[in-house]
Structure 1
């Protein structure tokens, strides 16, 4: 990671001819503690901090020692503020600017902060100011990078096997699978079963583009004449917690004959929880409706819905329909 990856590009600057009153207004308005000072050509000529401003306004230790009235009468201090507020920034700035380039590694940037004890570092591209980095930016970058490495190294607690058969349904299946994996600290195994030898599966190549450290994706090519058996076998071998596959039939989902031989076999023999996705094109996940009768699969449906909602900042509505006079408590449960 380099300086350009963490720098703040909307840099607040101040002219060297600005007054200290104007400088104070900039500090207050932008909530910053250090500002690059530029000349009329917008070239960086110095740095000024809140500390510089405070030192210019408040009396020094020697002045306090020689005139103790500062300690008891704030009128003296008010007079001093009025005296210095029209001073120019160039009179109090630090003229020697310590800077880095966009390609400076963040560990080297961090070392500069430690050695020079400064608050901010301008990022330069030649003579042009392109960004600024604060100490807090460095802390977040370094500890964030360590946290990501730890997350990558930690074992995954949930495994999802996604069976891919058609390019049209890949986006929906992979979007759902990676969202669930991210919410449950899991990983995704993208399976493609081919009945004949293929040099490389385009489905698995595309599935790999959904990989991230939050939801790792592993390609799993198989060659098998009986697709249903291959899917069930792969789920068992990988000790999958959830098996996902698409359903593209147009016939109503009423009996096994209507869902195809492969899906029928998987439904009957799946070694883990099963999610069958009928793909109608998934662009956004904003609102999720979960109809439930309180059966044995209700808890799994709710967990999947909540995982999807968490990953996409969506909402979940649980729907239970009861007949007049039916058990209301059962529905609420």
Structure 2
């Protein structure tokens, strides 16, 4: 388990969130509200969603509409606001979580079943760590029997 956890504010811009992830060398972080509660997770994949191929095709269509002088559709207005989106607009929620005493086989099962790469660890509803797939592989490499131990 990683216990030095970067957290992201739900009102951070996409740019700020991307910078924080990049500076820490992590691919995702829990989103924590002003009261310290976990409300979501923001990942590199979440941050890239607005720029996927489908959105790029929409952009080309909207540019043609503008060039032809037609009325601006609401979807274009949303696209123009794209860079003003906040973490809360893109984060994944609800979040799959575990506690410190969750057995590692259960953690592994959750990661695989939900097709996620990491899971926040909670104590009294507060994030105290994150367990990633890499953490489980390291535990397995150290001691194959460690996978039966709690985190």
- Establish whether TM, by shorter chain, passes 0.5: yes
Of the candidates 110, 116, 119, which is equivalent to residue 117 of structure 2? 119
Alignment length, in residue pairs?
132
> Contact 1:46–1:96 at 8 Å: present in 2 too?
yes
Question: TM-score, normalization: structure 1?
Answer: 0.37
Partner of 1:130: 128
Question: TM-score, normalization: structure 2?
Answer: 0.77
Give per-residue Cα distances to partners, 1:238-278, cap 9 Å, x unaligned.
xxxxxxxxxxxxxxxxxxxxxxxxxxxxxxxxxxxxxxxxx
State how far apart, in whole Å, the 1-side matches of 2:61 and 2:80 are: 20
State the SS of the aligned residue for 2:47.
Answer: helix
In the TM superposition, what are the counterparts of 1:41-60 in structure 2 within 5 Å?
41-56=35-50, 58-60=51-53
Give the CA deviation at 1:128: 1.2
State the SS of the aligned residue for 2:92.
Answer: coil
Give per-residue Cα distances to partners, 1:90-137, cap 9 Å, x unaligned.
000112010000001111111111101112100001211111111100
Instruction: Give 4+ residue runs of structure 1 displaced > 2 Å after superposition.
Output: 59-63, 65-70, 80-86
State the SS of the aligned residue for 1:117.
Answer: coil
Q: Which structure's CA Rg is the greater one?
A: 1
State how far apart, in whole Å, the 1-side matches of 2:59 and 2:87 are: 27
Partner of 2:14: 20
Distance verdict in 2 for CA 1:23–1:81, change over 3 Å: farther
In the TM superposition, what are the counterparts of 1:200-215 in structure 2 within 5 Å?
none
Partner of 1:61: 54
Superposed CA RMSD in Å reads 2.6
